[in-house]
Amino acid sequence: MFEQIFESVRQKSPLVHCITNYVTVNDCANMLLACGGSPIMADDPGDAVEITSICGGLTINIGTLNQRTIPAMLAAGKRANELGHPVVLDPVGAGASTLRTDTALRLLKEVKFAVIRGNISEIKTLASGSGTTKGVDADVADRVTEDNLDGAVSFVKELARRIGAVIAVTGAIDIVADEERAFCIRNGRPEMSSITGTGCQLSALTAAFVTANPDQSLEAAAAAVCAMGLCGEVAYKRMTGLDGNASYRNYIIDAMYRLTPAELEKGANYEMR
């Protein structure tokens, strides 16, 4: 299944518009190129709508918000919806500040997303509508473990139903779910958290996979998560005593560049719930 999805990315070379944060914009562009896609970065309101119109997909990352980029995100998202192009949201830091939380919630209200990818804290913020949780959402821990996995899966499925999007929660165990099915993914390395931007790269990667496979959003998002984690594993094996997190970042991008669809199919470590 994942082999065909990744093969589609390689063959179609989807053009993805990224409105992302300036900390990781270069890494996101290189990750898209490494997987076989093509990136365009445009975050000015006078440019974003037109650029979105010529692309196949859009990813919106709120990592470095400002009053110029927020209108561009909304306008580009609405234009992508008009064209039927998939949109991926990365609600970086939702819950950490009023601006981030309010912007993420406004985006959810005004833009239809194919996939929303974040950590469990960010996703809980979206679920509750504020920086604190309540009701059923409060029962979900801030870290997904084997012990609470069933409860986390139920929470993610319910949120996917409420929002109408695939929800990808990444952490030690990744959950990618729609309202009926969930992939529980165990690829990756803990050292990936030492690199700024692996999540941002994954969101851009997810946009490429979903753009190339628009009728399989769940499977495409899960394939992207598995691919990123698998590349983290492969890259870690290259590390020497002289290497640090900067080398590790480059090795992950190199691993994606060299990853084959067959290797992804073989190396993807997941179960369905």
Helix axes 45-54, 69-83, angle to 10 degrees: 20
170 is in an annotated binding site: yes
Distances (CA, A) of 179 to 158, 163, 172, 189, 243: 6, 10, 22, 28, 42
How many CA atoms within 13 Å lie on the side-chain side of 228? 31
Q: Which two tokens stand for residue 129?
A: 């509508």
How many CA atoms within 13 Å lie on the side-chain side of 273? 19
31 is in an annotated binding site: no
68 is in an annotated binding site: no
Distances (CA, A) of 7 to 14, 164, 185, 188: 12, 27, 20, 21
Instruction: Give the ranges where the chain is alpha helix by DSSP (H).
Output: 2-12, 25-35, 45-54, 69-83, 98-110, 120-128, 149-163, 198-212, 217-238, 245-258, 261-267
228 is in an annotated binding site: no
Q: What is the rounded distance in angstroms from the CA atom of residue 31 to the CA atom of residue 39? A: 9
Q: What is the rounded distance in angstroms from the CA atom of residue 131 to the CA atom of residue 95? A: 4
Could you tell me which of 129, 51, 63 has the C-alpha nearest to residue 90?
63
* Known binding positions: 41, 117, 170, 197
* Known binding positions for substrate: 41, 197
* Known binding positions for ATP: 117, 170
